[in-house]
Amino acid sequence: MQLKLFHDNEKSSEAEENKHLISLTRKSREQHINIIPFSHEGVPQPFDQSAAIAKYIESKLITQSDVDALVKAFEIRPVVSRMMLCAMSNVSVKKTRLILPLIAYYFSTGPYRVMWIKMGYDPRTDKSSGIYQVLNFRVRNVLSFSGYKIEPKRRSTLLRMAIKCQSNEEPKDSKPPEKYYMYRAGYIPPFRQMYYQLCDVDVPSVKELLASSPLRDVCHEKHGWYSETLFDDIRTIITNSIVKTLSDMDDSKSVDEGEREGDEEDESFMDDESLIENVDMEDPEDLKIDEEEEDLDFDFDED
How wide is the angle at C-alpha 203 spanned by C-alphas 197 and 204, nearest 5°?
125
pTM for the whole thing?
0.66
Q: Which residues of 121-152 are buried (b: 16+ CB within 10 A; e: fewer)?
A: bebbeeeebbbbbbbebebeebeeeeebebee
pLDDT tens digits along 168-187 = 444 455 578 899 999 999 99
Give the mean pLDDT of the chain: 74
Residue 214, Cα to own-chain centre: how many angstroms?
25
Residue 48: pLDDT band (50, 70, 90) is confident
pLDDT on residue 191: 84
Query: Which pairing describes strands 116-118 and 104-107: parallel, antiparallel, or unpaired?
Result: antiparallel
Strand order, beta sheet including 116-118: 35-36, 104-107, 116-118, 79-80
Residue 222: pLDDT band (50, 70, 90) is very high
pLDDT on residue 281: 33
Residue 247: pLDDT band (50, 70, 90) is confident
CB 300 within 8 A of CB 93: yes
pLDDT on residue 140: 65
Percent of the chain with pLDDT over 90: 47
pLDDT on residue 161: 54
pLDDT on residue 156: 55
pLDDT on residue 39: 93
Q: Could you please report the per-residue DSSP string of 165-200? A: HH-----TTPPPPGGGT-EETT---SBSEEEEEGGG
pLDDT tens digits along 123-182 = 999 999 999 999 999 876 565 553 444 444 455 555 555 555 554 444 455 578 899 999
pLDDT tens digits along 92-111 = 989 999 999 999 999 999 99
